Amino acid sequence: MTTTSEKPATPDLAWLDDITMTELERNPYKVYERLRAEAPLAYVPVLGSYVASNAEICREIATSPDFEGVITPAGGRTFGHPAIIGVNGDIHADLRGMVEPALQPVEVDSYVEDLVRPIARRYLEQFENDGHADLVSQYCEPVSVRSLGDLLGLHDVDSDTLRDWFAKLNRSFTNAAMTEDGEFANPEGFVEGDQAKAEIQAAVDPLIDKWIAEPDETSAISRWLHDGMPPGQTRDREYIYPTIYVYLLGAMQEPGHGMGSTLVGLFGEPDQMEQVVDDPALIPRALSEGMRWTSPIWSGTARISTGPVTVAGIDLPANTPVILSYGSANHDTGLYDAPTRFDFHRPPLPHLAFGAGTHACAGIYYANHVMRIGLEELFESIPNLERDTSSDVDFWGWGFRGPTSLPVTWEV
Amino acid sequence: MGFTATVGGRSVDCAEDQPVLDAFLRAGIWMPNSCNQGTCGTCKLRVVSGEVDHRSSPADTLTDDERAAGLALACQARLRSDAVVESTGAVGGRATHPLRDLTATVLEVADIARDTRRVRLGLPEPLAFDPGQYIELTVPGTDLRRQYSLANTADEDKVLELHVRLVSGGAATEGWLFDGLAVGDRIEVTGPLGDFVLPAAEEDDGGPMVLIGGGTGLAPLLGLVRTALARHPQREVLLYHGVRGAEDLYDLDLLAELAEVHPGFTFVPVLSHEPAPDGTGYRTGLPTDLFVDDVASARGWSGWLCGPPAMVEAGVKAFKRRRLAPRMIHREKFTPADALG
């Protein structure tokens, strides 16, 4: 006699074949909720890759000695080699050693207030008496790009150009759809990323020429060229460009995403918004929840197995890439009660928005302070913000995620 | 085997091999944190007392100088003894006046308005306080303590002035301060307490101020207003006193005199429940609503609220609506104990 209990218990995962990039970019949460429930480590055909979707597996792989960093295929196509997020060993150590001095807490403390607060004030002055604004394009993004742009030494690149660059690099980096043959499904999706890179090189090459001859201690890129090099030598520009692109995409875009998402979360919970506006000391906690609620680097990083390894009961051969979906891990119901709700009073467990392991975000401290100062100045200037509810807030993105706009009004 | 970690008066158990951060977070006490692997420095805190083992705290994130200065990374540090820690962001607050217990002598008890008394207490020695702070009185023969704001300026440090409103059935008011309190009585006083105070004189830029007091919530505002005007005689100061009816108003002469000397000072009595007597010109309604009508923008002002919780809540909303920066809003809520009288 045959009983159902003799059938394999594995769930039918045929639905994975039907996932589309468009669906993931609009709203990945539904697909990932099912992934976490049925197959928290699974091969997703449209991505041409394994995907880790719950907190335990993401953390295990991110910190495992059996895995090392790898850039996603579309990311690698966009950034080139050696990007800091996709290299390991000595090159990774050199690149981390290159970027970290300016990002160490002691160093960040020495400049971040003087860097960010005047920039936030400047953007607020442009609209604070208008009574209405789109906080994403008029505040969160400009504050984010101008702060980092000035830190890098890109004073002469205007903020709208920096915003345009990260948007193009973002769409190119996350143009992840693959064919069954392992080819990019939409190769034309990389064109705008290539255009952005050409523009970036046209703007940055002359600066690099200048900094090679005249080092500028106040420019992070100038220091990348010189720090730790023998006298008279600089790092090759082709060596640092991929990491410049990492900055111009993620580091430029994500503090803006983080501020924007936190604001959307707070608008959805008016009591919490009021508490934060009344007590700016709560801003870091609200930001931490905002980063969990809608993680800016939602599914932008990956690891690759260095040898055969078994994770969550699944045998992976050597050289198997796994995309780490931190945005999904941060909605893991095993860790968070009602994870779709923004609630900065929830039990304050650590989240994975900044990753883990040797490739954990180098800019955590910097980014947290940029976002904190941004929201402090915003609430200080306009404590009577209200969301313009004539339209819903749209979020976009699978690799990187945040609100596309956030219209608000206030009494002037 | 474990130890106790304490922050802000809250203590948690911390196992021998448990990171301090983990112990706090598991107990529901939030502190800034991000990477939880020692590399970001977000969770840096100050060890006030006790001993910690920094474990694998990286030298880049926690320098030798910082270790020597008593800093630690909460996500890495393990306790080697019971410890008290504090946030690095919260240090550097202003110095506070020492809290003291004194026996005061009643110098004056005067009925100054409907169900309202002024009580003056003589001190055996001067008490250092900031205007706007409060003291606690012990109701004689009981363990009951009641808080009353000081109406004084800092130089009025030997005679404290309190404004007391009668609460029906209240043990402290109906049972004591309005019943049998006499000149010469001795009262146990503890103070000063509270953070409803002006910025330090050297940091006070003389910016405009709006103050709203409900009933005897006027008391601390009198200390604040007189101090603020003494520092900057020309500054713009708008004081609303919200009461039910004209019989509840008091200190009108003092306030009129202040307005005469200081052209930037405006006093606005507001009656919420009774019409204004003929010829007085008193305004009616809620002071928080009148502020919204009167002031188009309060950007750059500071705001001060003392009164019943509903009035304070309404005041915060009114101030924000007129874009007074939340950081500049100061509030003194009457605690539930006051309602007990």
Interfacial A residues in 85-114 facing B (CB < 8 Å): 100, 104-106
Interface membership of B67 toward A (CB under 8 Å): no
CATH 3.50.50.60 is the classification of domain B2-90: no
**What's the CATH number of domain B100-193, 1.10.3720.10, 1.10.800.10, 2.40.30.10, 2.60.120.260?**
2.40.30.10
Q: Which of A136-150, A171-185, A348-362, B36-50 has the lowest mean pLDDT?
A: B36-50
B187-213 per-position pLDDT tens digit: 999 988 888 999 999 999 999 999 999
Contact B42 A361 (CB under 8 A): no
Write out chain A residues lying below 8 Å of B195, CB-based: none
Interface membership of B66 toward A (CB under 8 Å): yes
Q: Is residue A1 part of a domain?
A: no
Q: Tell me the C-alpha distance between B332 and B306, whole Å.
A: 5
Average of per-residue pLDDT across B171-184: 94
What percentage of residues in chain B have a pLDDT greater than 70?
95
Q: Is residue A6 part of a domain?
A: no
Q: What is the DSSP letter of A14?
A: G
pLDDT-derived band at A1 (thresholds 50, 70, 90) equals very low
Does the pLDDT value for residue A4 go beyond 50? no
Interface membership of B234 toward A (CB under 8 Å): no
Contact B304, B312 (CB under 8 A): no
**Spatial CA neighbour of B150 closest among B105, B110, B190, B202:** B190
Q: Which of A20-24, A98-102, B24-28 has the lowest mean pLDDT?
A: B24-28
Question: What DSSP letter does each residue of B229-281 carry, written as one string?
Answer: HHHSTT--EEEEEEESSGGG---HHHHHHHHHH-TTEEEEEEESSSPPPTTT-
Tokens of B91: 């240090």
Contact B325 A380 (CB under 8 A): yes
pLDDT-derived band at B95 (thresholds 50, 70, 90) equals low
pLDDT of residue A158: 97
Q: Long-range contacts for B108-113 (Cβ within 8 Å, ≥24 apart)?
A: B108/B183, B109/B177, B109/B181, B109/B182, B109/B183, B112/B163, B112/B250, B112/B251, B113/B243, B113/B247, B113/B248, B113/B249, B113/B250
Interface membership of A301 toward B (CB under 8 Å): no
Distance of CA A295 to the CA centre of its chain: 7
Q: Tell me the C-alpha distance between A369 and A19, whole Å.
A: 37
Interface membership of B177 toward A (CB under 8 Å): no
Average of per-residue pLDDT across A136-154: 98
Which of A279, A348, A360 has the CB atom closest to B30's CB atom? Answer: A348
Average of per-residue pLDDT across B117-137: 95
Average of per-residue pLDDT across A21-25: 97
What percentage of residues in chain B have a pLDDT greater than 90?
76
Q: Tell me the C-alpha distance between A279 and A286, whole Å.
A: 11
Contact A280 B66 (CB under 8 A): no
Tokens of B256: 């009129």
What percentage of residues in chain A have a pLDDT greater than 90?
94
Q: Which of A289-293, A358-362, B40-44, B124-128 has the lowest mean pLDDT?
A: B40-44
Does the pLDDT value for residue A199 go beyond 90? yes
Tokens of A115: 């860097």
Which of A100, A285, A350 has the CB atom closest to B60's CB atom? Answer: A100
| Domain parsing of chain B, residue ranges | 2-90, 100-193, 201-339
Contact A383 B63 (CB under 8 A): no
Sequence-ordered strand ranges (E) for A77-207: 132-134
Query: Which residues have C-beta within 8 Å of that of residue A138, sequence separation ≥ 6?
Result: A123, A126, A127
Q: Is residue A4 part of a domain?
A: no
Contact B66 A106 (CB under 8 A): yes
B10-43 per-position pLDDT tens digit: 899 999 999 998 898 878 787 777 777 887 888 8
Mean pLDDT computed over every residue of chain A: 95
- List the CATH number of the domain containing A117: 1.10.630.10
Domain span holding position A392:
16-409
Minimum Cα–Cα distance from A63: chain B residue: B37
Does the pLDDT value for residue B90 go beyond 50? no
A 10 A CB-CB count for A319 gives 11
DSSP reduced 3-state for B179: coil
Q: Is residue A5 part of a domain?
A: no
Average of per-residue pLDDT across B251-266: 97
Q: Tell me the C-alpha distance between B257 and B266, whole Å.
A: 11
Average of per-residue pLDDT across A157-162: 98
Interface membership of A190 toward B (CB under 8 Å): no
Does the pLDDT value for residue B333 go beyond 80? no
pLDDT of residue B96: 65
Interface membership of A368 toward B (CB under 8 Å): yes
- Residue A388 corresponds to which amino acid? D
Rama region for B9: left / alpha / beta (φ>0; ψ in -120 to 50; rest): left
Task: Tell me the backbone φ, ψ of residue B195, rounded to 5 degrees.
Answer: -120, 25
A233-286 per-position pLDDT tens digit: 999 999 999 999 999 999 999 999 999 999 999 999 999 999 999 989 999 999
Average of per-residue pLDDT across B147-169: 95
Mean pLDDT computed over every residue of chain B: 91
Interface membership of B33 toward A (CB under 8 Å): yes
State the fold for domain B201-339.
Answer: Rossmann fold (3.40.50)
Average of per-residue pLDDT across A85-94: 96
Please tell me the total count of domains within chain A: 1
The complex's ipTM?
0.79
Q: Is residue A310 part of a domain?
A: yes
Q: Is residue A125 part of a domain?
A: yes
Termini Cα distance of chain A? 78
Average of per-residue pLDDT across A35-59: 97
